[in-house]
Amino acid sequence: MTTLKSKLKEDLHAAMKARDELTSSTLRLTLTAITKEEVSGTSARELSDDEVQKVIAKEAKKRREAAEAFAQGGRTEQAEREKAEGQILDGYLPKQLTDDELHAIVASAVEEAKAAGAEGPRAMGAVMKIVNPKVAGLAEGGRVAAAVKQRLAG
């Protein structure tokens, strides 16, 4: 079993013993998503820590989007719960890049793409190919794309 998955299970047991309903339900849903990912496809397999991390990131993103939707719909109580679940999941993810760190990586990638002959808004694909491996798991795709667009626009 992967170490991250076993940590999730240990934390689930601790939350159940402490009767922490929010944490236990969040971890249960996340472990279910991991299991679902493991059995999808032609044969069952064990996920690596990186793959487990991607599943957790996907679940955390779902919580953020749901919280936003509930807040817009005027359901503040449900929005707060979704935010709290997202914060629990964020604890299992690597620390996200700050805006300054992200902009520095994007700036160097834009310079690298310009050196290769790609310029202007058409260089988006080339820059993203350079940036994505550097920020994998450390910044959400939408944030990265927005930073690249902003940098290419001037």
Question: Is-contact 131 106, C-beta < 8 A?
Answer: yes
CA 21 to CA 16: how far, in whole Å? 7
The DSSP H or E segment spanning 81 is helix 76-90
pTM, to two decimals: 0.74
Express each pLDDT in 2-36 by its tens digit: 588 889 899 999 999 999 999 899 999 999 999 99
**Are residues 70 and 76 in contact, defined by beta-carbon separation less than 8 angstroms?**
yes
Query: Domains in the chain and their CATH numbers?
Result: 1-89 (1.10.1510.10), 97-151 (1.10.10.410)
pLDDT tens digits for range 37-87: 888 878 888 888 888 888 888 898 899 899 999 999 989 999 999 999 988
